[in-house]
Structure 1
Amino acid sequence: MSDHAQSDLEDDLDWEEWDGKGSFLNHCVAGSIAGIAEHTLMYPFDTVKTHMQCSSCPGQPACPKSVPIQPPGIVQTFRSLATSKGGVSPLRMWRGVHTMFMGCVPAHALYFSSFEVGKKAFGADREGHHFMAAGAAGAISTFFHDSIMAPADTIKQRLQLGYYHGVRDCVKQMLKNEGPFSLYRSFPTTLAMNVPYGFIMVASNESLKKVINPTGEFNLFTSMVSGCGAGAVAASLTTPLDVVKTKLQTQNLGDIRTPPSGSAPTANAPHPNPIVHTPSSSAKNLKIQAAPLRPLHTSPPLFHPNAPPSPCPPTSSSPTYTNGYAAFRAILKEDGFIGLFKGMSPRLITHAPAVAISWTTYEGVKSLISEKGF
Structure 2
Amino acid sequence: MTEEECEYESLPTTNIVAHMVAGAGAGAMEHCIMYPIDCVKTRMQSLVPDPKASYKNVADALYTIIKQEGIGRTVRGINAVFFGAIPAHAMYFAAYEQIKLVLTERMSKQYHSVAHGLAGCSATIFHDAVMNPADVIKQRMQMYQSPYSTCSECGKRVLMEEGPHAFYRSYMTQLTMNIPFHAIHFMVYEKAQDMINPDRKYSPITHIASGGAAGAIAAAVTTPLDVCKTLLNTQERCAYQNDGTISGLRQASSLIYKFGGLQGFFRGLTARVIYQIPATAISWSVYETFKFILATKKSARASPILAANESSGIR
Q: Tell me, which stretches of 5 or more residues in structure 1 are unaligned?
A: 1-10, 16-21, 58-63, 255-313
SS in 2 for 1:338: helix
Give the match for residue 81 of structure 2.
100
Q: Percent identity?
A: 38
Match of 2:257 among 332, 343, 365: 332
Matched, 1:175 2:100: no
Matched, 1:135 2:117: yes
SS in 1 for 2:246: coil
Q: Does the aligned pair in 1 maintain the 2:43–2:53 contact within 8 Å? A: no
- In the TM superposition, residue 330 of structure 1 has moved relative to its aligned partner by 1.1
Give the match for residue 302 of structure 1.
none
TM-score (norm 1): 0.72
Give 1:361's aligned amino acid.
V
Give the match for residue 366 of structure 1.
291
Give the match for residue 245 of structure 2.
320
Give the match for residue 28 of structure 1.
20
Q: Does the aligned pair in 1 maintain the 2:47–2:260 contact within 8 Å? A: no
Structure 2 CA distance for partners of 1:252 and 1:319, relative to 1, 3 Å: farther
Give the ranges of 4+ consecutive aligned residues of structure 1 lying more than 3 Å apart after TM superposition: 124-129
Give the match for residue 115 of structure 1.
96
Q: Tell me, which stretches of 5 or more residues in structure 2 are unaligned?
A: 1-9, 302-315
Matched, 1:231 2:237: no
SS in 2 for 1:56: coil
User: 1:70-219 to 2 correspondence within 5 Å?
Assistant: 70-84=54-68, 89-123=70-104, 130-161=112-143, 162-219=146-203
Match of 2:45 among 38, 50, 53: 53
Cα distance in 1, alignment partners of residues 236 and 204 from structure 2: 44
Structure 2 CA distance for partners of 1:221 and 1:171, relative to 1, 3 Å: same
Deviation sequence 1:20-48 (CA, Å, 0-9, x none) = xx611111111000001100111010000
- In the TM superposition, residue 75 of structure 1 has moved relative to its aligned partner by 1.8
Q: Does the aligned pair in 1 maintain the 2:219–2:273 contact within 8 Å? A: yes
- In the TM superposition, residue 56 of structure 1 has moved relative to its aligned partner by 1.2
- In the TM superposition, residue 127 of structure 1 has moved relative to its aligned partner by 5.6
Structure with greater proportional helix content: 2
Cα distance in 2, alignment partners of residues 170 and 95 from structure 1: 11
Give the match for residue 349 of structure 1.
274
* Larger Cα-atom Rg: 1
SS in 2 for 1:84: helix
Aligned residue pairs: how many? 286
- In the TM superposition, residue 253 of structure 1 has moved relative to its aligned partner by 4.3
SS in 1 for 2:185: helix
TM-score (norm 2): 0.85
CA RMSD of aligned residues (A): 2.5
Cα distance in 1, alignment partners of residues 272 and 125 from structure 2: 21
Q: Does the aligned pair in 2 maintain the 1:252–1:320 contact within 8 Å? A: no
Cα distance in 1, alignment partners of residues 224 and 164 from structure 2: 26
User: 1:260-275 to 2 correspondence within 5 Å?
Assistant: none
Q: Does the aligned pair in 2 maintain the 1:47–1:93 contact within 8 Å? A: yes
Deviation sequence 1:137-182 (CA, Å, 0-9, x none) = 0010011000000010010000111330111111111111111111
Cα distance in 1, alignment partners of residues 83 and 244 from structure 2: 26
Deviation sequence 1:315-372 (CA, Å, 0-9, x none) = 9xx9432111111011112101000000000100001111111011101111111111
Q: Does the aligned pair in 2 maintain the 1:55–1:71 contact within 8 Å? A: no
